[in-house]
Amino acid sequence: MQNSQNKIFIAIIVVGVVFIGLYIVGQQEIKKSVDSLEMEFDDFKVDKLSILPPEIELTLTYKVNNPSNMPLKVSLDGNIYYGTTKISPLTVKERMIPAMDYGYIDAQISLNATLLQAIGDPQNQGNYKLKGTITVTVQYLGLIPVNVNLDLAELES
């Protein structure tokens, strides 16, 4: 009885060590894939324009290029800035970016009169920037979900 319990205990430990090892190796491989991602501003469109009260709703489109051989699920949590002015918080739910291909992430923002004035101020010149964290999830070996987080500043080209 004691001998069979020891064997079961050893088997559980071995499975745990193998699982942890696979997770660590998988995370390193996925980190390499995430590091190869490229993201750039692609386009924008005006969704709504209001004169009174002054307000514009925009959709900013970012192109995400995935040169790795792994399809990646990408989600984003951050803020959109114009120069130094914070425009809007931004949360993008998981989007699949195919392997050796590209996909798009859309960011909806709303600019009220105060923000429009700040953007129009000559002292606040700049471009739209994303600041925050991108999370990439992959099913490593088709079994183990592995997450890797990356600062957006490292990703934008």
Structural domain containing residue 78: 2-154
What total number of domains does the chain contain?
1
User: pLDDT tens digit string along 110-138?
Assistant: 888 777 777 766 666 667 777 898 888 88
CA distance 14 to 21: 10
> Encoding tokens for residue 102?
């590209």
Share of the chain above pLDDT 70, in %: 88
Instruction: Say if residues 88 and 66 touch (Cβ distance below 8 Å).
Output: no
Residue 144: DSSP 8-state: E
The per-residue pLDDT for range 42-64, each reduced to its tens digit, is 888 999 988 888 888 888 888 98
- CATH number, residue 92: 2.60.40
pTM of the prediction? 0.69
